[in-house]
Amino acid sequence: MPKVDKNTFGRWRWGFLENKARFSYDVLINKSGGSITFYKKQRPGIGDLPSRKPKSLFYKPEYSSTNSKSESRKLFGEDYFDYPKSEQLLCDIIHISSNENDLILDSFLGSATTIAVANKMNRKFIGIEMGNQAYTHCKVRLDKVISGNDGLKLSQTLNWKGGGAYKFYELAPSFIVKDEFGNPVIDDFYNDVKLIKAMCKLMNYTYIPSQTDYWKHGVGQGKNYLYVTTQLLTSGMVQQIAGHLSEGESLIVCPKKFEPGAEIIDNRITIKKIPQSVLKACQFGKKEYLLPIKETAMEEVEIETEEETN
């Protein structure tokens, strides 16, 4: 084993050993109040932890890779995930580092062990995965956990009978691509419908365009609606729409830009511009930029507000 400069690793509480291969260690983790302490203990003779420290733990056979792969095989068959972690290990880590209803984040979800255990332990969770296992492993596993039939030992230990829920989101392709001149433009994948759908998702509305009212692109809770337009939103347009709002209806309008004063025409109508992060990254007027702009409105689109010309 190569020599290691002990000075590069800070202060050693129990002394520095250059040849650690001769020793076997357990790591003890103690949670007391709001603090967590890690200890290393040399075997043999570790013994049971004192009963006065019920939240302490040390290495368990359930942490082994053999046990982890057995769990993965039970969940996914022979096509199990490489290098899985055991549910008991994640259970102990979540136990000492969080409380019920806390939010658990796993940015590299793998086979979803972390969030599966978090759900069983009454924690909220966010899991992120770029690989295809998001479909073949993560979703499959969570569905089994929620239905209460994953068949793993931890479910028996926790008396888990199923429950909970999750939302599954997919990232759309990037809005921005390079045109033939190397300039960033909006991808032609995003035609008028795609952009409206994207804004509906961003604003948490459901894309259900009305067959009768052009200004109803998305539907929210109750009688709340969303309208997306790349035209200059004028006060006259807002007044026109306001005249068609029925009792109890409200509307959010997402324009490219709007005329000063348009936002105070009617308190049932809220104006939120299409995000500047998207608009600033685009070169407008390119053939790749396909949005619902009527020919009769082209002159309006080119009008700049006083604020934008300064």
Domain parsing of the chain, residue ranges = 1-59, 60-171, 179-309
Q: What integer pLDDT is reported at residue 57 of this predicted model?
A: 47
Asked if the model's pLDDT at residue 17 lies above 80, the reply is no
Asked if the model's pLDDT at residue 275 lies above 70, the reply is yes
175: closest CA among 302, 279, 252? Answer: 279
How far, in Å, are 67, 96, 179, 203, 271 from residue 198 at the CA level? Answer: 44, 40, 21, 9, 17
Q: What integer pLDDT is reported at residue 52 of this predicted model?
A: 37
Tokens representing 32 are 């007391």
CA dist 191 and 199 (Å) reads 12
Q: What integer pLDDT is reported at residue 29 of this predicted model?
A: 62
Question: Which numeric CATH code is attached to 179-309?
Answer: 3.40.1350
> Average pLDDT of 85-102?
92
> Average pLDDT of 282-286?
44
In degrees, rounded to 5, the angle at the alpha carbon of residue 32 between the alpha carbons of residues 26 and 33 is 155
Question: pLDDT category, 30, cuts 50, 70, 90?
Answer: low
Q: What integer pLDDT is reported at residue 155 of this predicted model?
A: 95
Calculate the average pLDDT of the chain.
76
- More confident position, 65 or 305: 65
Q: What integer pLDDT is reported at residue 35 of this predicted model?
A: 67
pLDDT tens digit sequence for 206-261: 999 998 898 999 999 889 999 998 888 999 999 999 999 999 999 999 998 899 99
Contact 155, 120 (CB under 8 A): yes
Tally of CB atoms within 10 A around 147:
11
pLDDT tens digit sequence for 120-169: 999 999 999 998 899 999 999 999 999 999 999 999 999 999 999 999 98
Task: For 17-61, list the strands marked E by DSSP.
Answer: 25-32, 35-42
DSSP-assigned letter for residue 246: P
Q: Kindly calculate the radius of gyration of the chain based on its CA atoms and give it in whole angstroms.
A: 29
> Average pLDDT of 67-83?
85
> Average pLDDT of 275-283?
58
Q: What integer pLDDT is reported at residue 49 of this predicted model?
A: 37
299: closest CA among 234, 214, 213? Answer: 234
> Average pLDDT of 8-28?
50
**Range with lowest mean pLDDT among 88-97, 159-168, 171-180, 260-269:** 171-180
Which 3 state secondary structure label does DSSP give 21?
A: helix
- More confident position, 170 or 33: 170
Asked if the model's pLDDT at residue 8 lies above 60, the reply is no
Per-position b or e across 97-111, b if 16+ CB within 10 A of its CB: eeeeeeebebeebbb
Tally of CB atoms within 10 A around 30:
16
> Average pLDDT of 296-305?
37
**What torsion do the CA atoms of 142, 144, 149, 155 make, to the nearest 10 degrees?**
-20
Contact 207, 199 (CB under 8 A): no
